[in-house]
Amino acid sequence: MTDETPRPGRIRFPDISPRAYEHPADRGALVALRAIPGFDQVLKAISGAIGERSVRLLFLATSIRVSPRQFPELHQVLTECATTLDLDPVPELYVTRDPMPNAMAIGLDKPIVVITTGMIDLLDHEGLRFIIGHEVGHVLSGHALYRTMMLQLIAIANSIQWMPIGVWGLRAIILGLNEWFRKSELSCDRAGLLCGQDPKAALRVHAALAGAKDPDEMDVSGFLAQATEYESGGDIRDSFLKILQTADLTHPMAALRAAELQKWVAGNGYADILAGNYPRRSEDKDAPLSEDVKAAAASYRQDFQTSADPLFKVMNKAGSVIGGVSGSAANRVRDWWKSGPGAGRPSNGDR
């Protein structure tokens, strides 16, 4: 482990478990993903076909490996982020030539982090800390394996699109991976924020990814209001369009992603971690999987009930009506059973 320490005032989180920052829907989606028929077999096949060496060798030959002598500032940020989240060993970081702003953590047993020149050109120093911390979060959470699997499956699916049989099962797994990965991005935005501990810097990153040329001059409230308008505006037709728009996306939309992180900052979760109240990695083995499932279900239920999306409103209202009808029927049966079969029909007041 490196001796680099975060700057004065930046808090470290010894033994922090990824459960501390993972979005409940992230863990729940991964549980659901693993339940897809054939998922385990595909995972084993992909893992065996790729191999750890193949991924690393590719970037070793085509990119710049960050070190104290190559991109020293990035190297310092990487080691500080790993120290903040208590990650050991520190993953290798590679800079690859690509004008598109992107970063990823890929690999199997020993993941590596890759960041494009487009991302470096786009962000300031603290923005890069947020992004690198985000990827360190992916490594700590063990996401790199599934990310690598997703990239390989997408490549395979694109190469066999002409096949009428056998593709749909593969696409089901890809859609499941995309749904999970979008949730995992929300988790690792939180990890990136824990590394930088600067919510404004995180917001600037999301704004820059959305198209802001100078995030310092943007209307922050206006940008976040776009997420509210997207989620609540329109009618049921727009709701179905949103489903179609997101089905193949691997990342959440920038404005929605920014709003989700700011909501976490405004709640108790972020403050609790900063205060040292977080689950420890050493306790992970004793944490029951059922808690993840319950937390994910609660998260989806809350989003569903509080959503301003027109389709969700209709479905939630229908669910309430059905629930009320079924509850009334249950009360009738219960009262009838208590009074006995010969007591007659329930009174009007029981309706």
Give per-residue pLDDT as tens, 285-330. 776 655 655 555 455 445 444 445 444 444 344 344 334 444 454 4
- Domain presence at residue 286: yes
The vertex-306 CA angle with 249 and 322, nearest 5°, equals: 105
The answer to whether residues 143 and 91 touch, using CB atoms and an 8 Å cutoff, is no
The region that residue 234 occupies, defined by phi over 0 for left and psi between -120 and 50 for alpha, beta otherwise, is left
- Which range among 116-120, 214-218, 266-270 has the greatest average pLDDT? 116-120
Residue 201 buriedness (CB in 10 A; 0-12 / 13-18 / 19+): buried
Distance CA 113, CA 74 (A): 12
Distance CA 33, CA 179 (A): 9
The answer to whether residues 152 and 107 touch, using CB atoms and an 8 Å cutoff, is no
The amino acid sitting at 296 is A
Give the chain's end-to-end CA distance (angstroms, integer): 68
| pLDDT value of residue 315 | 38
Q: Which two tokens stand for residue 110?
A: 């020993």
Phi, psi of 266 (to 5 degrees): -75, -20
Least confident of 15-29, 138-152, 193-207, 282-296: 282-296
The answer to whether residues 26 and 182 touch, using CB atoms and an 8 Å cutoff, is no
Distance CA 43, CA 50 (A): 11
| pLDDT value of residue 267 | 92
| pLDDT value of residue 350 | 42
Residue 196 vs residue 249, higher pLDDT: 196
Question: How do strand 64-65 and strand 112-116 relate by DSSP bridges?
Answer: unpaired
- Residue 34, pLDDT > 60, answer yes
Q: What is the pLDDT of residues 2-13, one digit of tens each?
A: 444 445 579 999
- Domain presence at residue 293: yes
pLDDT band of 92, cuts 50, 70, 90: very high
Question: How do strand 103-106 and strand 112-116 relate by DSSP bridges?
Answer: antiparallel
Residue 49 vs residue 255, higher pLDDT: 255
- Domain presence at residue 326: no
Name the DSSP class of 161.
Answer: T
pLDDT band of 150, cuts 50, 70, 90: low
- Residue 106, pLDDT > 80, answer yes
pLDDT band of 229, cuts 50, 70, 90: confident
Beta bridge partners of 191: none
The answer to whether residues 249 and 186 touch, using CB atoms and an 8 Å cutoff, is no
Alpha helix stretches (DSSP H) within 63-124: 72-84, 117-122
Boundaries of domain holding 163: 18-308
Question: How do strand 112-116 and strand 93-96 relate by DSSP bridges?
Answer: parallel
- Domain presence at residue 319: no
Q: Residue 205: helix, strand or coil by DSSP? A: helix
Q: What is the pLDDT of residues 251-286, one digit of tens each?
A: 778 999 999 999 999 999 999 999 999 999 998 877
| pLDDT value of residue 252 | 78
Q: Which two tokens stand for residue 335?
A: 């009262």
- Domain presence at residue 157: yes
pLDDT band of 110, cuts 50, 70, 90: confident
Q: Residue 212: helix, strand or coil by DSSP? A: coil
Total of domains in the chain: 1
Buried-exposed string 35-67: b where 16+ CB fall within 10 A, e elsewhere: eeeebeebbeebbeebeeeebbeebeeebeebe
User: What pTM does this model have?
Assistant: 0.74
| pLDDT value of residue 168 | 54
Task: Report the pLDDT averaged over residues 17-33.
Answer: 81
Task: Report the pLDDT averaged over residues 123-134.
Answer: 97
The amino acid sitting at 207 is A
What's the longest Cα–Cα distance across the chain? 90
| pLDDT value of residue 230 | 84
- Domain presence at residue 5: no
Task: Report the pLDDT averaged over residues 38-61.
Answer: 72
- Residue 36, pLDDT > 80, answer no
